[in-house]
Amino acid sequence: MGSVVVGVVGTLQGVLIGGALQQMQSSRNRRWQREDSLSDAKRRVYTEYLRAISASYAQAMSGQRDRSEDGRLNAATAEITVLSGRDVHKPACELTDTVLDVHSRIAASAGVTAVEVADVNRRRHELIERFKSDLHIAPRT
C-alpha cells in the first residue's frame, strides 16, 4: 500500500511541476509576443513620422502646401505619444511643432534661414538616434 501512495504522490507532483513550468513558459512567450508587437508598431510609426517630415519639406520647397503631410505627421506624432516613453515622445512633439512652423514659412517664402533648416535637420537626426535606441538598434559608427 505504501508504494502505491508514493507512486500516486510522485505522479501528482510531476503533473503539478510540469503544469507550473508550462504556465511559466506560456507567460514568457506571451510577454515576448507583446514586446515584439510593440516594437513592430514603433518601427512602423517612427518610419511614417520621418517619411512625413521629408514629404512635408518637399511640399514646402515646391510651394505646394496642401497640408496632407502635416496631417500624417500629426497622426504619427500622436501614435508616438501613445507608444513611446517621454524621452522619445517629448522631443518628437517639439520637433513636429518646429517642422510645421518652418515648413509653413518656407512654403510662404517668409525668410527661413539656412541655419534654421540645418537646426531642424540636426534635431531630426538626434531623434532618429532616440528611435534607434528605443528599438534597441545599434547606432551607426
pLDDT in tens, 47-75: 999 999 999 999 988 887 777 888 999 99
The pLDDT score that the predictor gives to residue 51 is 96
The pLDDT score that the predictor gives to residue 81 is 96
DSSP H helical ranges for 63-111? 68-83, 86-107
The pLDDT score that the predictor gives to residue 15 is 67
Q: Which three cell numbers stand for residue 38?
A: 510593440
- Rounded mean pLDDT of the chain? 87
The pLDDT score that the predictor gives to residue 25 is 81
pTM, two decimal places: 0.78
Between CA 55 and CA 63, with CA 59 as vertex, the angle to 5 degrees is: 170
The pLDDT score that the predictor gives to residue 37 is 86
The pLDDT score that the predictor gives to residue 141 is 66
Residue 124 and residue 46 in contact, taking contact as beta carbons nearer than 8 Å: no
Residues of the chain with pLDDT under 50: none
